[in-house]
Structure formats: structure tokens, C-alpha cells
Amino acid sequence: MPHSPEPDEDVLDAVAPPHPVFHVEQALLGAFLLEPQRLNEVTGIGPDAFSTASHAALFAAISSLPAPDPAEHAAHPQWLDAVLAVAREQARGLTAAYLHSLIQVCPWPPHAPAYARMIEAEQCRRRLAAAAQHLIQSARDTSLPQRVASTLDEADVLGCVVDDIAARFPPHAGSLPRTPTPPQATTHDQDALDEERLLLATATAHPNSVGQMRWLTPGDFTHPVHAGLWLCLTTLIRRDTPVDPVTVLWEAQHRGLLGAGAEPRELLKLLAGPVGTPEHWGERILHRSVLAAAHHLGRRIETFTNDPANTPYQLVVGSRRALADLTAVRTRWQHATTEPAPTTRPARTRPATSTATPRAGPPPNTPPPPTLRRRTPPPPAPGSAMPTPTATPPGSPG
């Protein structure tokens, strides 16, 4: 039962103590109030980096006012009064006494850049935790019209947050978080079980379609026996073995599925009721698997952020490994839901007439060689005698 305080008990004792970053914020603000010029040495944080509204208002006020002269600031508190007046517009509960307490708790103003780096690291932790929680909520929200697409969009946002943290805090070797990851959530959804049974029966009746469903793996099933039967089916098809309820039952016996509580008669009955197509039921199963993987990813990263011992470097490495697991399932989902590109053969065209010079023969601009023609003597004049041809002896000039 919840503890009920006694009438003389101080209720404030039951308030949880602030996180360590609260004291770091006080030290940084105290450094700025004591030496306002230290603000120029700090980068990477803004008002949203602080854990409380009063601290965020004070940082915004300090950033908006020009820094006073150090000698004048040490002698007169006018700049502190201006900071308090501006900050009270956003946090009315601030008092001058709290500003003086901030100055007192600052151990060493030159350490302001180190304090700012700690605050930036804690802000990265909160941003990562918020992105993981949004992913978990999206994976659970059954009212979303495009549930998988919306969940994968949240995963992309989470990946952008991880990349931004990695740019601020580059990871190094050996920075894997040591926080134990939560176990995979087990669901007992009757609709999921029915869809797996229908897939197994339909795939047994139409094994030719299973060869194109490499995007579905046994890990996508919620029941271990169903996952084992799917492995039996794919193994028989890969061996080019006949597939029917009996051959699947025989393969299941070799894989020890009958000793896991499944009886032969029940398996034969399960494999004998095909409905629809294997691709339809396979996509339904993969749909649930993508959402389950996204939900588990969010829980893993949320667990990392809840462990204060994890540094930003460890958060980056652990989150990227978790995102890689979702990327593998996401790739298979894209293969399952993307229509294959039509394989059309290009139209055959006649090759264009080449005007290049052939390898053999003269170029086309070279005139053809002269043709030797036999000379014919002119016809004799009318009334003249016909010349008698004489043979020319060999060797004499003609």
C-alpha cells in the first residue's frame, strides 16, 4: 500500500532527489552569473538543454543580455537584476535569493565548458529516450491507417537523432553498452496464430509460390511449431522433394517437432485447409514481424537511456546495433511489398549503315583502277582495200 505521511512528517522528504545534471546546471548558471563573459566559451547547448523551466529561463535571459564590463559587474548588481527581470517573464517563481545561491554553488567558473558538455550529454539522452518512446507508441497504435509506414517513419526519426548524437559525441572502440537488453515480448494473438496456420496449409497446397517468398523467415512466426513447419516446407522445396502434408510431417519428425507437443494427426489437419494464396498470408505475418521488431527496438534503446552509467558514446553504438536489426526486417518487407520491375526485352532495331572505311580495300573516295579495253581499229574508207593483218614475230617490237 502507498505510504501515507503522518501529520507531523515533512512531506518534502518524500520528494525524489534531483538528478546529478540538476547540480551541473546550477554550477553552469552560477558561472555565468559570476563571470558573464564565460558564455562565449560555451557551445552546443540552448535553453531546451536544461532539465527545469527555471534553469531554461535563466539561460535564455543570460544569452539575450549583453555581458557587462567585468569591473563594473563586480561592483554593481544591475546586470543580475536585469537577468532576473527577463527570466521572470518565463518563470515567475525565480527570486534573487536563488540567483545568489547559484553563484555560491559554482565551484570554479573556468570549468563552464566542461559543465556545458555534461548538460549536452544529458540532453542527448533525453532526446534519444523521447524518440524511442514515440517509436514504441507508433508500433502499438492500431488506429493508424498505414501502421507500418508510420512506424518506419518514427524509426527514421530515431536514426536521425542517433546520427546527431554521433556527430556531437563520436563513438570509439569498446563503447558498447553493458546494460542487459530486454527479452523479446511474447504475444498470444489468436489472429496471428490463425494466419500462420493458413499460410502453412496454403503453402503446402501451392509449394511453387514458396520459392519466391525468401523474404519470410522462421523468425517472423509467433509460434515455435509454426516456425519449424515453415522451415520444413522451405527445406523440401529447396531439395526439390515432393511437398504434401505427409512429406511435411515426415520432415517435421526428423526435426524433432513431434516431440515438442505436436501430434501427427493435428499437424496433418493443420496442413489440409488451404485458403487464398501463400503471398497474402506471408505478407500478413511479415507485417506483424516488422511492428514487433520496431517495438523491441524502442524498448532496447529505452533501456539503454534509463541506465545512467551509459555514456553518449555507448548510447550511439548500442542504438545503431539495434537499428541494424530493424533494417534487416525492413528490407525484407520492402521486397515483399514492392512490385517487381517488368522485364521487357528492348525492341530490335536494324543497325545503321556504317560510313566508316572498311578494313580491306581502298577508301570510297579513291577512283577505281582503269579498265583495260581492247582497241578496235576504225572502219576503212569507202573504196579502200581492206588491210591484211600480219603476224608479228615473237620478240620483235610491235
The yes-or-no verdict on residue 347 having pLDDT over 80 is: no
Angle at 241 between CA 237 and CA 246, to 5 degrees: 100
What's the confidence (pLDDT) of residue 340? 61
> Residue 70 — pLDDT band, cuts 50, 70, 90?
confident
Distance (Å, rounded) from C-alpha 100 to C-alpha 358? 97
Q: Cell match 524511442: residue?
A: 132
What's the confidence (pLDDT) of residue 175? 75
The yes-or-no verdict on residue 174 having pLDDT over 90 is: no
> Residue 393 — pLDDT band, cuts 50, 70, 90?
very low
What's the confidence (pLDDT) of residue 129? 97
What's the confidence (pLDDT) of residue 317? 92
What's the confidence (pLDDT) of residue 146? 92
What's the confidence (pLDDT) of residue 179? 87
The 10s digit of each residue's pLDDT in 101-110 is: 999 998 899 9
What's the confidence (pLDDT) of residue 361? 41
C-alpha cell at 248: 511435411
C-alpha cell at 167: 556527430
- Asked whether 233 and 200 are in contact (CB, 8 A), the reply is yes
Who has greater pLDDT, 9 or 320? Answer: 320
Using alpha carbons, list the distances in angstroms from residue 226 to 14, 197, 207, 217.
Answer: 51, 7, 16, 11
Average pLDDT, stretch 66-73? 88
The 10s digit of each residue's pLDDT in 250-303 is: 999 998 888 766 788 888 998 988 888 999 999 999 999 999 999 999 999 999
Using alpha carbons, list the distances in angstroms from residue 294 to 184, 256, 342.
Answer: 11, 31, 32
Average pLDDT, stretch 58-81? 90
Who has greater pLDDT, 311 or 354? Answer: 311
What's the confidence (pLDDT) of residue 6? 54
Average pLDDT, stretch 167-189? 81
Average pLDDT, stretch 83-89? 94
**Which range, of 98-107, 171-180, 216-225, 306-315, averages the lowest pLDDT?**
171-180
Q: Calculate the average pLDDT of the chain.
A: 84
Distance (Å, rounded) from C-alpha 62 to C-alpha 33? 8
Backbone angles phi, psi at 90, to 5 degrees: -105, -25
> Residue 74 — pLDDT band, cuts 50, 70, 90?
confident
- With a pLDDT cut of 70, the percent of the chain lying above it is 80
- The amino acid sitting at 157 is V
* CA Rg value for the chain: 43
> Residue 147 — pLDDT band, cuts 50, 70, 90?
very high
Distance (Å, rounded) from C-alpha 217 to C-alpha 289? 10
What's the confidence (pLDDT) of residue 284? 95
Who has greater pLDDT, 100 or 18? Answer: 100
Who has greater pLDDT, 348 or 70? Answer: 70
Average pLDDT, stretch 93-105? 92
What's the confidence (pLDDT) of residue 63? 94
- With a pLDDT cut of 90, the percent of the chain lying above it is 64
Angle at 353 between CA 349 and CA 355, to 5 degrees: 150
